[in-house]
Structure 1
């Protein structure tokens, strides 16, 4: 039998004697310092359900005082690999999860001779994220992910950051950049003691991601057609009054804006707090087009009506034209 197998058998046999329950410390008053970090692989933000799905690899590092040995006694073996269910692992959980069952891919734990344990499982996290659609489709969203021990307070498990930025974005940068409709603009990570006024507070790591929507698709579908159709509204007034298609052009433009509004409603997530400014602009332009259709109908009616020059100008039309109810336009021509 090799020295590595002999070492693993002895360490696990010792672990079976002391038990895997309880923290791996010789002194019960000593905390277990756990270094925790995340690495982003892929992500997806479901705006309608307000759920952020993150495919990430997680980094757990701690010291197990029951997994120590002298390398010179085992042919210089300085590290071994064991199954995580065979040793104690910290119960680090996502607090604001939207899914009770978090799928994770099995990964071996690497143990060094000084008791340092490194565990890098791959997990898929689904967290809740509040959505603000006021600037849709040029919006930015801030999503938070809070991690901490589910049962141990800060005196038992002291959770620390594994990376200075909180989340590693460089390892799989091409994957999440090309496969997502969002750009990760900034990442902030903070460590808090919750609740702060309680002696039995918990160590919580909060990761905040600033996401910016990629505007290539939205610009071509929602923005550019809106500018072109709004310009067509002016063409309605450039047509001569004897052309009956003035009203038809206005109705076609109105119907086009209605289609864009339906696309916007289908694309933007429904929220009770805010309304997209682009949707407000669509409604405003549709009101302008409706007024242009009414005025064009009046112009066509007057231009193609009976040629009786003694007919007075209607009082309401004179008021709209001059904002003066006593306008001389009311006098018979």
Structure 2
């Protein structure tokens, strides 16, 4: 047992010694590799050339290609400076529902490769060559707002200057997220940001700066973008900043692209047809209000406006955050048409009060409508006053006998002077029947006259209300149009 206890500490010491030797050998190996890499980078700091050959030799460049995994800096404590500039060539699409902006950029990047340096005098005067980009180290610069796969056409070559300055031109189809404001559609302006920065390298490794001034980039973009398309470039702004996340910091460049929509298409296809339909609805008030065609015409107009909105629905932007002002405009126009139809229904009901026979116009309606409102809207009308009829001298008189029968007597004769009075008793049944017919006719004419008077009074009430509601309708449409135009103008001026 004592021997077993003495053997254990010696075994542990042997294991610790072996682990220390292995770790020391690993550190020595890493140090030798780093020294080898440092000596190699110092040796290839300038490419070699052969007489009779233009440009650096393939062997010297192959040594540089083998260093692709390493950042091309002799002193790794010095960051690599990358310069960026782009030209906005086209705005391919704006999807308001998904809040995505699709653009096409001509992107240009510059950086310094300290291993690709040669003397033009030794290389037959060659100052610039093209090399495949896949053979060289390139900064991992991305757009932070990128939300789709990169389907841009690849540009596999770069230009390398004899001083090690690399230029990489490529085309970029950028699908980026953007907070799109569509309230003032189609007179809207959008401000979208493009943030360029390295994904992995911090400011200790890669620093970013614009290759051109922001004014030059804006001027170049306007020259290509103003030719055609739905959108035009208003301005291109930018700034450089540092993005901090935890203890690490990244150098970024943020560009703000301000674009404005050309509203001619939407004004011609949306606003003008809607204004025409509203104008026809206003002119429909000049149809006779007692005509049934007026109500059917307005119903047909509402149906046509609904079909117009369904057809033009694809042209209107839609988002979950809000509704454009033009959508509210169409909804209110449809509501005004419905109100116009309701007004026609009310006036038609007033004008057809003759179905309720012998119902006179209330006194308060006479005072309020036929007097005050009529004076307010300058409506003039005259009542039909007929003077009481008096029997003429030579007209026959109708007298009632005790038996309830009517006897017609000439005005110029008396019963004593009538030569046919002796024969009156013989014709008494026929005269009684004729008198009864005349009495029924008199009652019917009296009823018709009273009904016509009541109908005429209700017609005047309906016309006065129609004039009043028509003017209120015109006032509502005018105020609504002024409010919409003012909101659009204020929004454009603020933008």
TM-score range, shorter chain: 0.7 to 0.9
Matched residues in 2 for 1:235 and 1:285: separation?
15
Q: CA deviation at 1:102?
A: 4.3
Change (3 A) 1:246 1:211: same
Instruction: Could you tell me which runs of 5 or more consecutive residues in structure 1 were left unpaired when the two chains were aligned.
Output: 325-331
1:158-237 alignment runs, 5 A limit:
158-165=207-214, 168=217, 176-195=225-244, 198-237=246-285
Q: CA deviation at 1:76?
A: 1.2
Q: CA deviation at 1:119?
A: 0.9
Equivalent in the alignment of 1:119: 168
Please say if 1:254 is aligned against 2:302: yes
Equivalent in the alignment of 1:96: 145
| Kept after mapping to 1: 8 A contact 2:86/2:217 | yes
Range that drifts further, 148-157 or 42-51:
42-51
Q: CA deviation at 1:103?
A: 2.4
For normalisation by structure 1, the TM-score amounts to: 0.86
Q: CA deviation at 1:150?
A: 1.0
Q: CA deviation at 1:138?
A: 1.4
Q: CA deviation at 1:295?
A: 1.6
Equivalent in the alignment of 2:197: 148
1:265-323 deviations in Å (ceiling 9; x for gaps): 322232122111111122112222112111212222332452657425699x99x979x
After TM superposition, what 4+ stretches of structure 1 lie above 3 angstroms from structure 2? Answer: 166-179, 307-310, 312-315
| Kept after mapping to 1: 8 A contact 2:217/2:236 | no
Q: CA deviation at 1:198?
A: 5.0
Matched residues in 1 for 2:90 and 2:57: separation?
35
1:82-115 deviations in Å (ceiling 9; x for gaps): 1111111111111111113342422421111111
Q: CA deviation at 1:252?
A: 2.7
| Kept after mapping to 1: 8 A contact 2:196/2:252 | yes
1:230-250 deviations in Å (ceiling 9; x for gaps): 222222322212322211222
SS of corresponding position for 1:300: helix
Please say if 1:57 is aligned against 2:106: yes
SS of corresponding position for 1:151: coil
Matched residues in 2 for 1:174 and 1:253: separation?
46
SS of corresponding position for 2:88: strand
Choose from 54, 64, 67 the match for 1:4.
54
Please say if 1:66 is aligned against 2:119: no
| Kept after mapping to 2: 8 A contact 1:182/1:211 | yes
Q: CA deviation at 1:217?
A: 0.7
Equivalent in the alignment of 1:81: 130
Change (3 A) 1:16 1:218: closer
Q: CA deviation at 1:124?
A: 1.3
Please say if 1:45 is aligned against 2:126: no
Q: CA deviation at 1:30?
A: 0.2
Equivalent in the alignment of 2:313: 265
Equivalent in the alignment of 1:329: none
SS of corresponding position for 1:74: coil
Matched residues in 1 for 2:60 and 2:86: separation?
29
Please say if 1:245 is aligned against 2:245: no
Change (3 A) 1:221 1:278: same
Equivalent in the alignment of 2:14: none
Q: CA RMSD in A?
A: 2.9
Q: CA deviation at 1:157?
A: 0.6
Matched residues in 2 for 1:313 and 1:132: separation?
56
Choose from 158, 169, 186 the match for 1:109.
158
| Kept after mapping to 2: 8 A contact 1:250/1:293 | yes
| Kept after mapping to 1: 8 A contact 2:218/2:236 | no
SS of corresponding position for 1:231: helix
| Kept after mapping to 1: 8 A contact 2:106/2:169 | yes
1:124-135 alignment runs, 5 A limit:
124-135=173-184
| Kept after mapping to 2: 8 A contact 1:34/1:62 | yes
Matched residues in 2 for 1:236 and 1:176: separation?
46
Change (3 A) 1:157 1:291: same
| Kept after mapping to 1: 8 A contact 2:134/2:156 | no
Choose from 23, 28, 44 the match for 2:71.
23
* Higher gyration radius (CA): 2
